[in-house]
Structure 1
Amino acid sequence: MHHGQAYLTREIEAVSWLLRNTVDVLQTSIRPALTGLPAAHATRCVEVLAAAVDQLVRLAETGGERPAFAALADELADVDRVEERLAAVKAPPEQQQAPAAGEGAPTRIGLDAETLEAYLREHPGGGANLRLRHLERMSGGRSKSTYALTVAGAADLPGDLVIRKDQETLLNNTSVVSEAKLLERLHRAGMKVPQPFHLESDPGRLGSPFLILERLRGTTAGEVFDPPRNERLALALAEQVGLLHSIDVGTLADDPFLVTKDVTGDQLREQLAAFRATVDEFSEPYPSVLGALEWLDEHVRDFYEEVRLVHGDLGFHNVLAEGDELTAVLDWELASLGHPARDLGYLRSTIEMMTDWDKFLDVYHASGGVRCDPYAVDFYMLFSSVWLYQHLARSGQMRLKWDARNIEYAISFAVLGPNMRYRLARQLGGVLARY
């Protein structure tokens, strides 16, 4: 197949997948909450989007060629196929056929309320009198599923809880199992993190490992590329990052999940080679991405002089806030022992949308943060951006391949991936001007 035609086919498949995700949300979340004319309009939207998906699928299959029917029977058979495809697109996710089992196919994992209530009654903090009053899947969460629940009559558990549950770990190889012990330590150290109450590592109980946590006040403060324009929150996060980087790593030696990574020249070269392989397989050859990889390859050095506990995915998509108050730093699945500039570099573009970078660093240093070489911050800024871009590219293509139905996956593919490339292009331009 000609390269241009192959590219067009991939793009058509991607748009079809995005539209199917949108149909799912209309069918399962929006339309049931509507009545009257809005409900009728939602139904019309589903019909139109399903038709658009079918047209795109036909274009991908035929390469844009006009269908040719030798006889009426051929055309009627084609009509039947169209109706079957339209019905499949419009069917709610629970009625859709799951992907065939096989290498790489994700497991679709939900949470059954009755099974959860029975489990909590067995828990010492729950007890026989516990009743599950409310269970709701929360928005966000692209590698874990998060549920808010309210219970009554519990022996010791608070009434408002959160369950963070493994969803698929094939794409970033993380599990809530690694978070429980670390969260306990961070909570004792006075950081604003949810207190863990119980870890269940047996996937047989509710379909996958899960962690029961304290439910803290506040809502997600922002998105990866759209932080709140609030200086107080930026400086509050600076304080939390300073506290994190002030923790004595010697006290963490007994945690088997906290490994030292991305600090030696050899570790960084190995990661960069893996990044390049992923980009070659799952991304178009954008100058910004390839240029960043080339700059990083040329400027690798050992950064082992500073090793601290780092979060690995710091941003306001992983922060809860209530007004001007930061109430929690969430999602510690990527925590490791690494250079503190890893977190600072990851954060810099976000913070500069909220306040002056030097003002952020002043609060960070006053809270126990490390004084990092600006060169190291620039290196890890590009390194973290390439890491996130290649992860989004790979995970997006794999979820498209699996036809994974989740609007968060669709957003990652359609919005976060391109935006990460735009950010990386701006960052690379700044770094090239400085060195």
Structure 2
Amino acid sequence: MTNARHIWAVAEALQREVRPFITDRDARATLDNGIRVLTATANGLEMGPSAFMGSPSPVQLADTDRLGGPAENAAAYRTTGAVIADVAGCLDRGDQLTAFRDAIAGERSLLESTITRMDEVERAPPRRVGADKDSIDPKRLEAYLRQRTGREELRVDSFNLVVGGRSRQTALLGLTNMGDLPARLVIQRGIPNLATNDSFLDELTQFNLLGLLHKAGMRVPAPVLVETDPAWLDAPFMLVEHAPGATAQPEYWLPVADRNVVLDLARQMAILHKQPIDEVGQGLRPSRSSFDIESWQAELEGMASEWHDLARWPSITMSAAISWLRANVDCLDDRQSIVHNDMIFHNVLAENGNITAVLDWEQAAIGHAGEDLGYCYPVVIAATDWESFMDAYRAAGGLDIPQRQIDYFALRAGLRLMNLVLKGGRDTFEKGLSDDILVASAGAHFTQRLMHRIALVLRSVLERS
């Protein structure tokens, strides 16, 4: 019995025989992420298939299972790693994509079979790890609301911390004797003593943006109060009205079941992108210093170089994606819009086929509308056809973004996210900066699923090329 089979067996036993008896939400989330790390590690120890599509040469064994940890390319087995490295090298040197279509399809097929095996073990959806329920003090919040409204009889009669994020904490609360305030609110507070990061919007900027978007008719949480003085709750915070509905798809990798919600996302995105920057985008940072072709090219070369520095094994998929991006970066232009930067279904509330609120605006910026469209492309095509989505987007006043630009931003989003997760997940865990199993799971498991998603996007792009 190989080491890989030992690990597969442990992961399956934990999933089938332990997980059903875990009732604590935080404990179950930790177990889910531990199972993910096990499945990714087990796959990395497999020998692999005896042949690789698109390679006429005999199999040459590569020590892919001797690397320092799970490779982000789940197709790089001992039997396939060498030929994958050879083909990726040819693409990196500028060889034509058309000569390697079989190899691209071969790696995608291996990625698909790997993800299928992972899914067989990971039957139950993961749960988000909760934060300390005492991190926001409801009594101190109640005192603040009494002072702010002048109503001593106001009570916080329910309080539930629902998200324990790494840059923000969020909780639901119910009020009685609240006067003009809504009875149900959501509080978002920064984490005390956490160093601020200018890539995230502060509470005041988010509050102002939500107010303008709500007034423009976009379905966002209605802002109620904002407080920048940390004396009240140890960090700035804002309160918004609780929106009805449930998360459209809490599991990042699963498609949305309701096609109407997908089309409604197109309409909400159109409303966002057509907002006048001078009026609605006050306080938002540009996503880049310049939007000319030279700037886009420099960004691409930086991301490509970073990928090659971070990757533990070459990938035909990633090299082909970078090759296509280099050949098509000239399609971009300097148009600018307000962009959300994470506008997909785990950040959307929906009810009866309609979006009730688009959440998590802390990464909003001034960018290219294609960034939002390209980012949502893979999750949209998993649920409906892209043409219907774009028809709904344009009918709601969305911009006329050429498909070639959307293809560019879809592949760019995958490359950018891969680098972010490798640095913030894998390297953070392996360098001892975090012992959180969620961080370990991101580096070992998320990257393999992400590469599979990039492979699917690449297939769609090449079919149009």
- Give the TM-score normalised by structure 1: 0.69
Q: Which amino acid aligns with 1:225?
A: W
- The residue number in structure 1 matching 2:139 is 114
Asked whether the 8 Å contact 2:170–2:186 carries over to 1, the reply is yes
Instruction: Render the CA deviation track for 1:333-369: whole Å, top value 9, x for unaligned.
Output: 2222222211111111111121121111111111001
Gaps of 5+ in 1: 1-7, 32-41, 53-62, 64-92, 96-107
- The residue number in structure 1 matching 2:216 is 189
Q: Which amino acid aligns with 1:173?
A: S
Instruction: Render the CA deviation track for 1:96-149: whole Å, top value 9, x for unaligned.
Output: xxxxxxxxxxxx99212222222222223x732222212212147564322111
Closer, same or farther: CA 27–225 of 1 in aligned 2, 3 Å: closer
Asked whether the 8 Å contact 1:109–1:208 carries over to 2, the reply is no
Greater CA drift, 172-181 or 187-196: 172-181
Which one of 140, 152, 160 corresponds to residue 184 of structure 2?
160
Asked whether the 8 Å contact 1:117–1:131 carries over to 2, the reply is yes
Which one of 257, 265, 275 corresponds to residue 247 of structure 1?
275
- The residue number in structure 1 matching 2:171 is 147
Closer, same or farther: CA 232–291 of 1 in aligned 2, 3 Å: same
Closer, same or farther: CA 198–94 of 1 in aligned 2, 3 Å: closer
- The residue number in structure 2 matching 1:354 is 383
Q: CA deviation at 1:180?
A: 1.4
Alignment of 1:36-435 (within 5 A): 110-124=135-149, 127-139=151-163, 141=165, 143-167=167-191, 173-177=199-203, 178-222=205-249, 223-252=251-280, 255-259=282-286, 261=288, 263-276=291-304, 278-280=306-308, 282-287=310-315, 288-301=317-330, 303-397=332-426, 400=429, 401-403=432-434, 405=436, 409=439, 412-413=442-443, 415-435=445-465
CA distance in 2, matches of 1:214, 1:374: 37
Closer, same or farther: CA 170–421 of 1 in aligned 2, 3 Å: farther
Q: Which amino acid aligns with 2:153?
A: N
Asked whether the 8 Å contact 1:221–1:227 carries over to 2, the reply is no
Q: Which amino acid aligns with 1:313?
A: D
CA distance in 2, matches of 1:273, 1:166: 34
Q: CA deviation at 1:273?
A: 4.6
Asked whether the 8 Å contact 2:284–2:366 carries over to 1, the reply is no
Greater CA drift, 274-283 or 340-349: 274-283
CA distance in 2, matches of 1:398, 1:135: 36
Closer, same or farther: CA 378–277 of 1 in aligned 2, 3 Å: same
Closer, same or farther: CA 26–280 of 1 in aligned 2, 3 Å: farther
Q: CA deviation at 1:185?
A: 0.6
Asked whether the 8 Å contact 1:247–1:308 carries over to 2, the reply is yes
User: SS of 2:375's equivalent?
Assistant: helix
Greater CA drift, 311-320 or 274-283: 274-283
Asked whether the 8 Å contact 1:164–1:176 carries over to 2, the reply is no
Asked whether the 8 Å contact 2:342–2:363 carries over to 1, the reply is yes
Q: CA deviation at 1:184?
A: 0.7
Asked whether the 8 Å contact 1:194–1:330 carries over to 2, the reply is yes
Asked whether the 8 Å contact 2:248–2:256 carries over to 1, the reply is yes
CA distance in 2, matches of 1:307, 1:230: 31
Asked whether the 8 Å contact 1:194–1:328 carries over to 2, the reply is yes
Q: Which of the pair has the greater relative contact order for Cα pairs under 8 Å at 6+ separation? A: 2
Q: Which amino acid aligns with 1:200?
A: E
Q: Which amino acid aligns with 1:159?
A: A
Q: CA deviation at 1:283?
A: 4.2
User: SS of 1:299's equivalent?
Assistant: helix
Q: Which amino acid aligns with 1:152?
A: T
User: SS of 2:329's equivalent?
Assistant: coil
Asked whether the 8 Å contact 2:370–2:406 carries over to 1, the reply is yes
Asked whether the 8 Å contact 1:166–1:175 carries over to 2, the reply is no
CA distance in 2, matches of 1:184, 1:196: 6
Q: CA deviation at 1:301?
A: 3.1
Percent of aligned pairs with the same amino acid: 29
Q: Which amino acid aligns with 2:178?
A: A
Greater CA drift, 278-287 or 216-225: 278-287
Q: Which amino acid aligns with 2:181?
A: L
- Give the TM-score normalised by structure 2: 0.65
Q: Which amino acid aligns with 2:221?
A: P
Asked whether the 8 Å contact 1:313–1:334 carries over to 2, the reply is yes
Asked whether the 8 Å contact 1:143–1:169 carries over to 2, the reply is no
Q: Which amino acid aligns with 2:222?
A: Q
Q: CA deviation at 1:293?
A: 3.4
Greater CA drift, 264-273 or 192-201: 264-273
Asked whether the 8 Å contact 2:176–2:183 carries over to 1, the reply is yes
CA distance in 2, matches of 1:252, 1:328: 18
Q: Which amino acid aligns with 1:421?
A: M
Q: Which amino acid aligns with 2:168?
A: K
Asked whether the 8 Å contact 1:313–1:346 carries over to 2, the reply is yes
Q: CA deviation at 1:377?
A: 0.6
Closer, same or farther: CA 267–134 of 1 in aligned 2, 3 Å: farther
Closer, same or farther: CA 416–127 of 1 in aligned 2, 3 Å: farther
